[in-house]
């Protein structure tokens, strides 16, 4: 069964346009890796008041992007994004899972 995964991340102040530009030019190999991991629908929204990024992924059973930290392309992307986002010591984005409270289909 497919699932929806939501999480939040934090953008550094003043980095909205840079974040948007980098994602407009997302690497094709990263898109491929996400697809191979089961992610087939992925949106990221910004709350400009708090610089909070809100991500929603539709994921095929057993998949997801949250376990791709060993992939060298993913690690390169993390490094590429580290200067504009809050990151962990390994440069992965600080990512906080969100609990689904309501769903209307």
pLDDT in tens, 80-90: 999 999 999 99
The answer to whether residue 52 scores a pLDDT higher than 70 is yes
User: In this predicted model, what pLDDT tens digit does every residue of 13-22 receive, in sequence order?
Assistant: 999 999 999 9
Q: Which pLDDT score is estimated for 68?
A: 80
Other residues' Cβ atoms within 10 Å of the Cβ of residue 26:
11
Q: Which pLDDT score is estimated for 96?
A: 96
Q: Which of 38-47, 59-68, 95-104 has the lowest mean pLDDT?
A: 59-68
Cβ within 8 Å of residue 13, ≥6 positions away: 51
Domain 3-97 has CATH 3.30.70.100: yes
Q: Which residues are catalytic?
A: 23
Q: Which pLDDT score is estimated for 1?
A: 78
Distance between CA atoms of residues 7 and 57, nearest Å = 9
Q: State the pTM of this model.
A: 0.89
């Amino acid at each position: 069964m497919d699932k929806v995964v939501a999480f939040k991340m934090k953008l550094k102040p003043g980095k909205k346009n840079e974040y948007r530009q980098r994602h407009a030019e997302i690497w094709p190999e990263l898109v491929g890796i996400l697809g191979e991991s089961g992610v087939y629908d992925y949106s990221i929204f910004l709350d400009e008041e708090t610089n909070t990024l809100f991500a929603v992924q539709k994921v095929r059973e057993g998949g997801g992007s949250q376990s791709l930290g060993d992939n060298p392309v993913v690690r390169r992307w993390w490094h590429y994004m580290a200067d504009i986002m809050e990151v962990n010591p390994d440069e992965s984005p600080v990512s906080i899972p969100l609990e689904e409270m309501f769903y209307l289909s």
